[in-house]
Amino acid sequence: MVPIVLVPGLLCSAEVFTPQVAALWPHGPVTVASTMAGETMAEIAASILATAPPRFALAGISMGGYICLEIMRQAPERVNKLALLDTSARPDTPEEITKRRALLTHARTGIFKSLLAQVFVTLLHPAHRDDSAVLDVMIGMGLTVGIGGFARQTEAIIGRIDSRPSLADISVPTLVLVGDSDTLTPPDRSEEIAAAIRGAKLVIVPECGHSSTLEQPEAVNRAMIEWITG
């Protein structure tokens, strides 16, 4: 069995993958990487590689997907399967950078917990916006990362490079998954990634926003089990 390394997204801790860890455990030892070390995507990726197994299957959600693409540039020979969930290969636009910096400023001057609640609810599919269990997990993860972690991760995201030119270099079996109602990294971003990676499988999860692993865990688990056992 091949070890599996899961990489959380922005303002996420290991809990973002709780349903997947349980589902994937029978198919190989699972580790959820920390994204708390490093100031840039390259540094975060290098930190994860420093403690990762020699060879492993790699999966990331949102910012975790950006990190996975950086890992594929730094050490492609160590990854034997790749899964990219609710993410994008594109760099931020100037407008997106402005929004990120404004949100960070607001976080530093306002009440962080209430800001998290306001932001996270918009990432969910409308059918899940009243799901207090999901929102409580998301807010708890954000508080765990904290404003300092949020700031470091935000600057790393803003500074990331365009990953589209390197997608064609990826030759391992790849799953690309996205919620059908993901407004942060819409399905066309995943379609773009899947089209550029030879043989990639695209899965669009119905009634799902950006937080697919928590919103539709059973659908994500099915896709990831098929990916890891295929």
Least confident of 126-135, 161-170, 210-219: 126-135
Interval 61-80 mean pLDDT: 98
Give the model confidence (pLDDT) of 112-127 as tens digits.
Answer: 998 899 999 999 999 9
- Write the CB contacts of 175 (distance below 8 Å, at least 6 apart in sequence): 59, 81, 82, 83, 84, 200, 201, 203, 223, 224, 226, 227
Please report the DSSP string for 109-129 in residue order. Answer: HS-HHHHHHHHHHHHS-GGGT
User: 4-92+157-229 is classed in which CATH architecture?
Assistant: 3-Layer(aba) Sandwich (3.40)
- Angstrom distance (rounded) from CA 138 to CA 121: 9
Domain boundaries, the chain: 4-92+157-229
- Angstrom distance (rounded) from CA 157 to CA 225: 29
pLDDT level of residue 32 (50, 70, 90 thresholds): very high
Interval 137-162 mean pLDDT: 96
- pLDDT of 110 > 80? The answer is no
- pLDDT of 160 > 80? The answer is yes
- pLDDT of 78 > 80? The answer is yes
Give the model confidence (pLDDT) of 162-211 as tens digits.
Answer: 999 999 999 999 999 999 999 999 999 999 999 999 999 999 999 999 99
Please give the span between the terminal C-alpha atoms of the chain, in angstroms, as a whole number: 12
